[in-house]
Amino acid sequence: MLTDKRLVLTGVVTPDSIAYAVAERAQQHGAELLLTSFPRDRPLAEEVAAQLPRAVEIVDVDMTSEEDLLGLEEHVRRSWGAVDGALHAVAFAPREALSGDFLAARAPGVNLAFQTSAFSYAALGRVLRDLAPPEGGSLVGLDFDAAGAWPVYNWMGVVKAALESANRYLARDLGERSIRANLVAAGPLRTRAANGIPDFQKLTDLWEGQAPLSWNPRDPAPVADAVCFLLSDLARAITGEILHVDGGYHAMAGALR
């Protein structure tokens, strides 16, 4: 499905992450990968990358740094000349933006969450725009459904709503270059990012009661499969979409059990 596709994947830090599952599955489908790592996480990224079926190169990139993004673009030009797709799997919010009194959060923490988790998606889209071959490419981001307010998540929920809006605008502007932009809204998964969400168990409890299909919060493979589909030519006419991989939770009006 991804034979000869050159893909840039962000966020591969731990073996339980969605990004790692995507990397593993993409290699199985024949893709050539370049991973990016937040500089501080480089040792963790190297350790987990060594578990992939084939060796991959890692480039240090702070997704909020224009200098680092330019460096990524230059590196790809030297190595591949062009890139066919990219996965945005980067998100961060300080605890004050995730828990406690929603109204008590301060602008610096919220701004950091927005820059890291939403604006950087558009920044990666700019890199892909400048590097995609004439036939186009695919940008995929990881989402958590922002259609309503959750009992936890606070300002990160607002940031995800911004991400979803940005995806529509990216689909508009990148479409001129035959580049697609889509999000995968996953159900709650017990990843490194989830460890930073206070009362995360409340989300998994909701899924137990409302998802019509059984949902395993420790299995990112179904999400990885959906990402690989969107990165492939099988999704060549899909853009501006939010693909829910959540066991059907989002489609139910209330609890089933």
Active site residues: 153, 160
Give the DSSP H or E segment for 8: strand 6-9
Distance CA 129, CA 181 (A): 11
Q: Which two tokens stand for residue 220?
A: 């990112």
Which residues, in sequence order, are CB contacts of 99 under 8 Å at separation 6+? 152, 154, 197, 198, 199
User: What are the residues facing 138 on neighbouring strands?
Assistant: 85, 180
Name every residue whose Cβ is closer than 8 Å to that of residue 237 and which is 6 or more positions away in sequence. Answer: none
| Coil, helix or strand at residue 82 | coil
Helix axis angle, 107-114 relative to 154-174, nearest 10°? 40
* Angstrom distance (rounded) from CA 135 to CA 5: 12
Residue 34 and residue 57: Cα distance in Å, rounded?
5
Residues 6 or more apart in contact with residue 100 via CB below 8 angstroms = 154
SS (H, E, C) 221-235: HHHHHHHHHHHCHHH
